[in-house]
Amino acid sequence: MQITAQELAAFIDGKVEGDPTISIHGPSKIEEGQPGTVSFLANQKYESYIYTSKASVILVEKDFQPAGDIHATLIRVENVYEKVAMLLNKFGELQGEEKVAEIHSSAVIDDSVQMDDSVSIGANTVLEKNAVIGKYTVVYPQVYIGSNVKIGSNCIIYPGVKIYKDCEIGSGCILHSNCVIGSDGFGFAPQSDGSYKKIAQLGNVILKDRVDVGSNAVIDRATMGSTVIEEGVKLDNLVQIAHNVVVGADTVIAAQSGIAGSTKIGKRVMMGGQVGIAGHLQVADEVKIQAQAGINSSVKEKGKAMFGTPAFAYRDFLRSYSIFKKLPALADRLRKIEKENNK
């Protein structure tokens, strides 16, 4: 596959600065750029590489001002990250092999399953009774799809995914290997003898359209009703979503984060890695939670930035940190003053 700088610029609404006819065949990191590839500069920490990179084409911000000579052809754009995402998707389409719809002979499919002729089902996959699969969805090998599960169109279900009974998956969703949708919520009633009795989990999980779920992530079914992941949510690997949680549209959650039962997360929330959120809380829209923060009370202010464990306002944390990191020195000074006063 070959494409010129001018053709790329037209696709991403960019302006070419240099040779518009130069041909490229794929992307590369700016520090590892090779002739025939396109790279990008979005973080100024990497600016030094733009002067030495061997990449043929480099995407830069519209107002980027170089501090030295650049040998590559530049394409100036608005929002480099957004355009890079577009390019990577385009390269994926051009380089990927067209998937031919087929049902592998080893797949176990109940006679009551409904699916279009455009659906692909991989080897050793199991589809239980009354499951419904939408058009152009691809189900890879060794997937389990339980009874009454509904999956929309244009989804990709990677190897090893498990979708328990009654769960609903929207259109355009991507479920990565070994994630589990609809396992039992963590519901146990304490008994008088100190033991715990399991509480039946009778609800389901609903994933709306364009949800991505990372490898080994788990979304528990509701005790009653539904655990709901709204449109456009992106979950990283090893994320845990407990029973009856609602995650608002276009929220992104990084790896190893966990949300306890019945908590409601707003729209466009950003959560770093290893964030923990206690149960029965509310987190407002557009809140930003830094990595390893612990949230044990509701965050009601839209767009608030949180950090620390337990988490509190980000700016307050930074001010506090500037003090408590000096506590050992302050303690030494205090002991010295007390010693002098006691003479």
> Rounded CA gap, 275 and 299, in Å?
14
* Contact yes or no for 77/11 (Cβ under 8 A): no
Tokens of 80: 């480099």
Residue-level length of the chain: 343
* Residue ranges with strand state E in 35-106: 37-40, 57-61, 73-77
Tokens of 267: 């729209």
* Contact yes or no for 291/274 (Cβ under 8 A): yes
Nearest to 83 by CA among 10, 189, 181: 10
> What is the sign, positive or negative, of the torsion defined by CA atoms of 23, 26, 30, 35?
negative
Q: Is 25 a catalytic residue?
A: no
DSSP reduced 3-state for 181:
strand
Q: Catalytic residue, from 25, 104, 243, 280: name it.
A: 243
Q: What is the DSSP code (8-state) at residue 30?
A: G
> Rounded CA gap, 175 and 141, in Å?
13
Nearest to 261 by CA among 211, 301, 305, 203: 203
Q: Which residues are catalytic?
A: 243
